[in-house]
Amino acid sequence: LRQLCGTNLPAGGGPAGLALQRRQTVVFRDLTREPPRPGLPADPRLRSAIAIPAVGGNGRVLAIAEFFSDRQLPEEGLVSTLTSLAGRIAQYIERMGAEAETQRMKDEFVSTVSHELRTPLSSMTGWLHILLGGEPGPLTSEQRQFLTTIKRNSDRLMRQVGDLLLAGQIESGRLSLELAEVDVAELAQEAADLVAPQAEAQKVAITVAAGQPAVVNGDRARLLQLLDNLLTNAIKFTPDGGQVRLSVTAGGGRCEVTVSDTGIGVPPQDRPHLFERFYRASSATEHRITGTGLGLAICRAIAEGHHGTIRLAEREGPGSVFVVELPLAAREEKAI
């Protein structure tokens, strides 16, 4: 089956070319008398041919199925079955095209809205920062408490808007990375420090094991975002009193980052979809843990953008283990 995506099938040449030109099924009954392709010598093993176009609603040929046979003349019944099948294929191709267009419009809409939201949000967080800094005047403890709550929520909204924009960029292949030498071991410590208040609030203990440097050629901010997303998840999906462990090792030209937790885990049926955009496991909704389902899709794009991988490892007992592998920078590779 040839799908006509910019192929330059010559209209009128051979069975498929003729079917394209005539927009109807073409049968070559005796190829020994008519060559299957103009200018090509007839293959003595081929006796007959049939080409069936899949014609869309607007009369455009969307695909052509072309068969050659060593037997004489395809039966009439077969010709009409294949022709009606081609009609179904045309409908399918048109439906897929319409779905892709709807998806494109949705992505464009989300991207425009996110951009529009970011400007007023930046202004709000800016003024909040000034108010909390005490510059316009001293705050009562109650005022400070209220403003802190507003700040926490506007930061959260800002993060979500950022995630939506980034997800849009990833979807359209526009994720850009600013590469430099980055020590992932050092970055791991920084990421753990960033999420420490959240872990403390949820009574989850974090340990970091990142003794040796693990230098990769990467985008520092994006790699920090990857670690932050994994740690935020680990803390979020781990009940009070649980533990989160972040480890970084380097060897064999690769850097391996592992984030493990003693939390609610991921049910087997959700595992294959976890890195898809907006996918949330049933365990997350059952436990009423909020989120958009973008974090892991972003993690995967960042890991793959660095020629690395990310996966959910199998684990004995409760909890989850996420493993990221990245190639070490060439300098580091030689040292090992």
Binding footprint of Mg ion on the chain (CB under 5 A) = 233, 295
- 28 contacts which partner out of ligand ATP, Mg ion, none, CB within 5 to 8 A by kind? none
Task: Please name which of 201, 175, 319 lies closest in space to residue 261, comparing C-alpha atoms.
Answer: 319
Smallest distance, ligand ATP to C-beta of residue 95, A: 29
Give the contact letters, 216-255, x = binds to ligand ATP (CB under 6 A), - = no: -------------x---xx--x------------------
Among 19, 26, 264, 326, binds ligand ATP (CB under 6 A): 264
Residue type, 21: Q
Among 20, 226, 255, 274, binds ligand ATP (CB under 6 A): 274
In eight-state DSSP terms, residue 33 is T
Per CB under 6 A, does 262 bind ligand ATP?
A: no
SS3 state at 325: strand
Smallest distance, ligand ATP to C-beta of residue 274, A: 5
Task: Please name which of 16, 98, 99 lies closest in space to residue 61, comparing C-alpha atoms.
Answer: 16
Residue spans of beta strands (DSSP E) within the chain: 2-3, 26-28, 48-55, 61-69, 180-183, 205-209, 215-218, 243-251, 254-261, 309-313, 321-327
Among 114, 217, 225, 320, binds ligand ATP (CB under 6 A): 320
Q: Which residues contact 15 (CB under 8 A, 6 or more apart)?
A: 26, 28, 36, 49, 50, 51, 66
Smallest distance, ligand ATP to C-beta of residue 159, A: 8
Among 147, 293, 311, 323, binds ligand ATP (CB under 6 A): 293
Among 280, 300, 303, 310, binds ligand ATP (CB under 6 A): 280
* 317 exposure class (CB count in 10 Å sphere: 0-12, 13-18, 19+): exposed
Task: Please name which of 223, 229, 251 lies closest in space to residue 332, comparing C-alpha atoms.
Answer: 251
Q: Which is nearer to ligand ATP, 50 or 264 (CB)?
A: 264
Among 265, 306, 324, 326, binds ligand ATP (CB under 6 A): 265
Q: Which is nearer to ligand ATP, 163 or 183 (CB)?
A: 163
How far is the C-alpha of 43 from the C-alpha of 163, rounded, in Å? 58
* 107 exposure class (CB count in 10 Å sphere: 0-12, 13-18, 19+): middle
Contact segment (CB under 6 A) with ligand ATP among 87-95, 183-191, 195-203, 283-291 equals 283-291
How far is the C-alpha of 181 from the C-alpha of 329, rounded, in Å? 7
Q: Which is nearer to Mg ion, 92 or 278 (CB)?
A: 278
Q: Which is nearer to Mg ion, 236 or 306 (CB)?
A: 236
Smallest distance, ligand ATP to C-beta of residue 184, A: 19
Using CB under 6 A, count the residues that bind ligand ATP. Answer: 24
- 263 contacts which partner out of Mg ion, ligand ATP, none, CB within 5 to 8 A by kind? ligand ATP
- 15 contacts which partner out of ligand ATP, Mg ion, none, CB within 5 to 8 A by kind? none
**With contact defined as beta carbons under 8 Å apart, do 302 and 235 qualify?**
no
- Give the torsion sign (CA, 8, 12, 18, 19): positive
Per CB under 6 A, does 261 bind ligand ATP?
A: yes
How far is the C-alpha of 64 from the C-alpha of 93, rounded, in Å? 12
Per CB under 6 A, does 86 bind ligand ATP?
A: no
SS3 state at 65: strand
Looking only at residues 154 through 183 of this chain, which bind ligand ATP when binding is defined by CB under 6 A? Answer: 163
Residues that bind ligand ATP (CB under 6 A): 163, 229, 233-234, 237, 261, 263-266, 274, 279-281, 283-284, 291-297, 320
